[in-house]
């Protein structure tokens, strides 16, 4: 019961994670060994560097555009982007790396003011020097001289130029709906059919994690992460549908790469 009546599972997740006053992500840094959970970019800098290699290959396949949006959804501490930019900027001696870095405008989609501030710090951002009046100052990451902008939602990111979107441990934080199987809701089952058979059962699960342990999802709201199982096959289909005639490449990191990182750090 909430606000005097029942609410949906999706409303519950949204309130617990992103309520502007007390949401789990809103006021603090929740990552790392000292925090509530740890993610791959926080484990090894190689993670962001490898995503950088992937992004540069995709940029090449796009025909090396002069301007490209590099969007990250839910950047956390900003560690993945820090490692990606540092790697591409300092990689020795190739003009290609330089053109890649110079083409980038980084857009970070982040709902948490506290995490936006941390990302700004970690990316070593500064206001660009501008001469003359009426010149809008841009924020530049001094790690690679790249412009960086923040947005509360993906719809606010400017479109119309080639774009790469990175989302690491983001989709599982988005509110999900749960439906009871009645004749009226059966059409929704179609969307779940994209998930592999062994994964379909997991789609019903929402988990809560505090101090690296699974806990009850109703325990002390706003102090634990809520995470929904993501059907990436559906994400792929929706991205392809939304991009229409534009080419859309969806790279999904698979578990063997993640196991490799884990192994390297043991």
Residues 6-25 that bind ligand SAH (CB under 6 A): 17-18, 25
Residue 49's contacts (CB-CB under 8 Å, 6 or more residues apart) are 83, 84, 87
Judging by DSSP bridges, how do beta strands 104-109 and 146-151 pair with one another? parallel
Least distance in Å: CB of 253 to ligand SAH? Answer: 11
Residues 165/71, Cβ–Cβ less than 8 Å: yes
Contacts of 172 (CB under 8 A, 6+ apart): 227, 228, 229, 230
Q: Which residue is nearest to ligand SAH (CB)?
A: 74
CA distances from 161 to 1, 59, 73, 105, 148 (A): 45, 12, 18, 11, 16
Q: With contact defined as beta carbons under 8 Å apart, do 114 and 100 qualify?
A: no
Q: Which of 10, 62, 111, 209 binds ligand SAH (CB under 6 A)?
A: 111
Q: Which is nearer to ligand SAH, 36 or 231 (CB)?
A: 36
State which residue, 39 or 234, has the beta carbon closest to ligand SAH: 39
| 154-173 residues near ligand SAH, rule: CB under 6 A | 168-170, 173
Indicate the residue among 115 and 125 with the shorter CB distance to ligand SAH: 115
Q: How far is CA 107 from CA 71, 78, 112, 151, 160, in A?
A: 5, 12, 15, 7, 14
Q: In what order do the strands lie in the sheet with 146-151?
A: 125-127, 139-141, 146-151, 104-109, 68-73, 163-167
Q: How many residues bind ligand SAH (CB under 6 A)?
A: 19
Q: Shortest gap between Cβ of 95 and ligand SAH (angstroms)?
A: 31
Q: Alpha helix (H) ranges present in 188-231?
A: 189-192, 197-200
Among 15, 83, 110, 231, binds ligand SAH (CB under 6 A): 110
Measured from the CB of residue 152, what is the shortest distance to ligand SAH in angstroms?
A: 7
**With respect to ligand SAH, which residue has the nearer C-beta, 72 or 231?**
72
Query: Contact region for ligand SAH (CB under 6 A) — 55-63, 95-103, 110-118, 132-140?
Result: 110-118
Contact stretch for ligand SAH (CB under 6 A) within 68-76, 209-217, 238-246, 248-256:
68-76
Task: Tell me how many degrees the CA angle 224-230-236 measures, rounded to the nearest 5.
Answer: 145
Tell me which of 56, 71, 115, 195 binds ligand SAH, using CB under 6 A.
115
Stretch that binds ligand SAH, among 39-47, 59-67, 141-149, 230-238 (CB under 6 A): 39-47
- Residue (of 264, 181, 192) closest to 230 by Cα position: 192
* Closest to ligand SAH by CB, 97 or 261: 261
C-alpha 32/C-alpha 203 separation (Å) is 26
Name the residues that contact ligand SAH, by CB under 6 A: 17-18, 25, 31, 39, 41-42, 74-76, 109-112, 115, 168-170, 173
């Amino acid at each position: 019961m909430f606000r005097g009546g029942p609410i949906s599972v999706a409303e519950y997740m949204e309130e617990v994670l992103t309520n502007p006053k007390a949401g789990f992500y809103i006021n603090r840094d929740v990552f790392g060994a000292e925090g509530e959970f740890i993610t791959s970019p926080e484990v090894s800098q190689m993670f962001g560097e490898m995503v950088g290699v992937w992004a540069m290959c995709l940029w090449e396949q796009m025909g090396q555009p002069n301007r490209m949006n590099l969007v990250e959804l839910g950047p956390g501490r900003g560690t993945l982007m820090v490692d990606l930019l540092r790697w591409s900027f300092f990689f020795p001696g190739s003009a290609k790396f330089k053109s890649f870095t110079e083409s980038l405008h980084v857009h970070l989609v982040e709902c948490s003011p506290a995490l936006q501030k941390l990302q700004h710090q970690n990316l070593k951002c500064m206001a660009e020097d501008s001469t003359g009046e009426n010149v809008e100052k841009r924020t530049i990451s001094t790690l690679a001289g790249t412009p960086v902008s923040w947005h509360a939602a993906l719809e606010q990111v400017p479109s119309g130029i080639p774009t790469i979107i990175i989302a690491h441990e983001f989709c599982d934080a988005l509110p999900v709906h749960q439906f009871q199987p009645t004749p009226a809701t059966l059409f929704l089952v179609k969307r779940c059919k994209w998930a592999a058979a062994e994964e379909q059962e997991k789609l019903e699960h929402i988990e809560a994690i505090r101090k690296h342990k699974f806990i009850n999802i109703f325990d002390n709201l706003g102090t634990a992460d809520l995470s929904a199982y993501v059907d990436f096959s559906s994400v792929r289909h929706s991205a392809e549908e939304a991009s229409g005639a534009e080419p859309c490449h969806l790279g999904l990191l698979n578990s063997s790469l993640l196991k490799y990182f884990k192994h390297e750090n043991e």
